[in-house]
Amino acid sequence: MYDLITAPAGAVAPVCAAFTRAPSVDPSGRVEALPGHPVPNLGDVDPDALLGSSAIPPEGEADHNGDARERPDFPHGGMSDNSCSWTPDRADAGAPLPVIIGHSAGASELPAEPASDPLDDMAAEFAAASKSEATRRAYRSDLRNFGAWCKADGACGLPATPRTVTRYVTHLAGLGRSVSTIDRRAAAISYAHRLAGLDAPSATEEVRAVLTGIRNTIGRRPMKKKALTADLVGKVVKKIPSDLAGLRDRAMILLCFGAALRRSELVALDVANLEPHRRGLLVRLGRSKTDQAGEGRSVAVPNGKLKAPDAVAAWLAASGITAGPLFRGCDRGKLSAERLSDRQFARVLKKRCAAIGLDPDLIGGHSPRRGFATSAGDAGADLRHTARHMRHAKLETTLGYMEDGDLFRESAGKGFM
């Protein structure tokens, strides 16, 4: 199976077929291969795992603030009769084949997948590691959507012409997609082209002008999820019962908040990442969104009012976990050996917040992290210290996590207005 996120540059000949011939789409939005023809599907992954029903996206993220299951965006509301989709039956009837890189349009068979080469495979793994897993997951979703749209529109997705990309993003704007979603999909298309050794269509003036026009026309301040500040976190965890699942959820929420973790960082933690300290808990992070080199960062979580380290210790004692994944599935008191996923954590967080009357639609995986930034600002913490705790390279990023109340605290006119 071909994967634009991992395929070596020399192995992209059949990829155009992946955009124009390969996927058939059923009413549920699943992308399926044609009978007898394994199809490049932009990632050998399960579409449900990729575009699951959770309202929470992967970080990097589809949209950080929401990820409702999305059906492919067809230009005419469905698969058009004049699209360039190809099946063996249509080929036998003389239907034209899609243009394939390096092959004539009259070829009667799809090119065979090239033999695997160890160096190419290793290079592909290194190329994939240049992006976080959450970003690769979001890009796969975006490229599948673009591929299905290209099939319906009769266009080739790789190489895509600037006109194809401008039509696609214009269509997305017409559907009411957010500016952030449109920008990310354009970035995914460009990344796929660069990985294949091709010029990125999104870098052309034609595409850039349309994207700028979309931002100027429909651009609006993105809706951010509610910040779970220290007082709200305290109310949430106080409401959680002390059964096994409750001990886990209390520890997860408090640790996510106290270490200002991305949800992908939280669920990636192993017991070995924790180091007890006389003043609290040290969390040793591995590779993350802002640390792709895996140099590792350490975050100190004090054992203060919220008692996050104590909550983690209580969870470990009750679960009996001594090694491996820190947070695992728990069903009716039975502990799973499997690591909890970031989407499962997001669902848990929504459920626990709803229990104290918060609107779950306003709660996301970033809510504890945003709440930490806001609480730090309210407490008068040095912005540089907050940025370091949150592993932000730029202070502007940290400011973007804070609630509007901080604008009043930092207002230049507060001393004389």
Q: Per the residue annotation, which of 289, 328, 339, 347 is the catalytic one?
A: 289
Question: In the annotation, is 332 catalytic?
Answer: no
CATH architecture of 230-409: Orthogonal Bundle (1.10)
Q: Which of 225, 250, 352, 366 is catalytic?
A: 366
Is-catalytic flag, 369?
Answer: yes
Question: How high is the mean pLDDT of the chain?
Answer: 72
pLDDT(126) > 60: yes
Question: Which of 296 and 55 is assigned the larger pLDDT?
Answer: 296
For the question of residue 194 being annotated catalytic, the response is: no
Q: CA-CA distance, 35 to 44, in Å (whole number)?
A: 17
pLDDT for the residue 71:
45
Q: In 165-296, where do the E strands start and end?
A: 274-277, 280-285
Catalytic residue (one of 131, 369, 370, 391): 369
pTM score of the predicted model: 0.54
Runs of H (alpha helix) within 66-204: 88-92, 118-128, 133-153, 162-174, 179-195
CA distance 17 to 371: 46
pLDDT of the residue at 131: 73
Which one from 250, 307, 370, 392 is the annotated catalytic residue? 392
Strand pairing category for 31-32 and 274-277: unpaired
pLDDT at 383: 82
Binned at pLDDT 50, 70 and 90, residue 232 comes out as very high
pLDDT at 9: 40
Q: Is-catalytic flag, 401?
A: yes
247-286 tens-digit pLDDT: 999 999 999 999 999 988 999 999 999 999 999 999 998 7
Closest CA to 139 of 42, 238, 245, 52: 42
Of 184, 262, 307, 350, which is the active-site residue? Answer: 262
Residue 329 has pLDDT above 70, yes or no: yes
Q: What is the mean pLDDT of residues 72-93?
A: 38
pLDDT confidence of 115, banded at 50, 70, 90? low
| pLDDT at residue 163, as a whole number | 92
Residue 4, pLDDT above cutoff 80:
no
Domain with CATH 1.10.150.130 in the chain: 9-218
Give mean pLDDT, residues 126-144. 79
Higher pLDDT, 404 or 177: 177
41-66 in b/e burial notation, b at 16+ Cβ within 10 A?
bbbebebeebbbebbbbbbbbbbbbb
Q: What are phi and psi of 155, to 5 degrees?
A: -110, 160
Return the half-sphere exposure (C-beta side, CA atoms, 13 A cut-off) of residue 66: 14
Distance CA 412, CA 229 (A): 24
Residues spanned by CATH 1.10.443.10 within the chain? 230-409
392 is catalytic: yes
193 is catalytic: no
What are 121's strand-pairing partners? Answer: none
Q: Is the dihedral of CA 72, 73, 76, 77 positive or negative?
A: positive
Instruction: Identify whether the C-beta of residue 13 lies closer than 8 Å to the C-beta of residue 156.
Output: no
The confidence score (pLDDT) of residue 350 equals 94
Are the beta carbons of 402 and 377 closer than 8 angstroms?
Answer: yes
Please give the Cα distance from 246 to 177 (Å, whole number). Answer: 37
Pairing verdict, β 280-285 and 31-32: unpaired
Amino acid letter, 105: A
CATH of 9-218, one of 3.50.50.60, 3.40.50.10140, 1.10.150.130, 3.30.1330.10: 1.10.150.130
Q: Is the pLDDT of residue 112 over 70?
A: no
The burial class, CB within 10 Å (0-12 / 13-18 / 19+), for 235 is middle
Task: Give the pLDDT of residue 148.
Answer: 87
